[in-house]
Structure 1
């Protein structure tokens, strides 16, 4: 290599090095977001409810792009979506919800097997659907001229036969829960309460509809 080429290469290295150092410094200097998780409820099935014979797979619910994220959604108005700064779910919302749905159905103690998507295990029924709302929203306090925050969860669930993907049953589920304050921990607690109610309702509905679709054979 000629002296001129060596000098040009050295100058390029010296030019890029400060840029790389600055980029690394910026990444290291940014505070990591606070991560939050939600919990699976343990719904109590009625004593008369039959145990399910069918094995069920829970597939991730579909969601619009604004909700298909790990960012925590805040809706100051029905037509506006924002995200809380410095706070994230531990996973993308549809994946987190699906994992909690698996755990919730398992917690009923009435299903022979509840698995997540991607398993090679044989399944009889599939639970899926759409996330229609999963957000904290601002609500007005009547007559006080003040506002508060509540978590709103709306899902449209479908129970399918795994063999041909035919719809066995479908229904919308919704719940709201007030936040005790504007603190992030209280907002997450409100999300937890609203989601817990919806998942409990879906689990008991799945148990009922699944028993109809996969009845116990008559004894000989």
Structure 2
């Protein structure tokens, strides 16, 4: 027993030493996508069709919780120590749904998660959801290829590219996130008007 005790002490000391050199876990801050409520159009007639908003397709870089940034040059990076509260395509889909519901002119809104009956579907590809530097200033950029699709037949009724950029007030992460929120608000307004116009046209006799 007297011989085993020193060995046990040395073994324990080795474990403690190994623990001390393990990398510390990164402390993360999480951000929601800011959003301003769209004005309600209570006096306007509501559509007689239901819309399903699908999660946009995207590449692996954007289908992530990392807040992507393109500094000067071609290297793609991400802000350190911060994350979106959800993957970017899901954040944008939920922002669009909330805006469409706020507006109130489409009779029924659902997402691809619920798979409820819908007459039309809003399908899309998310090509850009990152900040990039222009003249030393970060700018939030969103690029969405949208398609209005007839449910059942999956026939594309209309398609359009939407591109929105919003400069941040300064270089802080909080300012960049706020710029993403403003860009998301503008994209939602433009996409809503287009969806209503093309959706109504598709339902005309």
Mapped partners of 2:115, 2:172: distance in 1: 42
Unaligned runs of 5+ in 2: 1-7
Aligned residue in 2 for 1:38: 33
Q: Number of matched residues?
A: 195
Q: 2:67 aligns with which of 65, 72, 75?
A: 72
Please state whether the residue corresponding to 1:71 is helix, strand or coil: coil
Residues 40 and 101 of structure 1 are in contact (CA less than 8 Å); yes or no, is this contact kept in structure 2? no
Change (3 A) 1:159 1:30: same
Runs of 4+ residues deviating >3 angstroms:
39-50
Q: With structure 2 as the length reference, what TM-score do the two structures score?
A: 0.84
Aligned residue in 1 for 2:157: 168
Change (3 A) 1:46 1:174: farther
Mapped partners of 2:147, 2:185: distance in 1: 18
Residues 1:97 and 2:64 aligned together:
no
- TM-superposed deviation, 1:45: 7.9
Q: 2:133 aligns with which of 132, 138, 162?
A: 138
- TM-superposed deviation, 1:117: 0.8
Aligned residue in 1 for 2:80: 85
Aligned residue in 2 for 1:62: 57
Change (3 A) 1:62 1:210: same
**Once superposed, what is the RMSD of the aligned Cα atoms?**
2.8
Aligned residue in 2 for 1:7: none
Unaligned runs of 5+ in 1: 1-10, 141-146
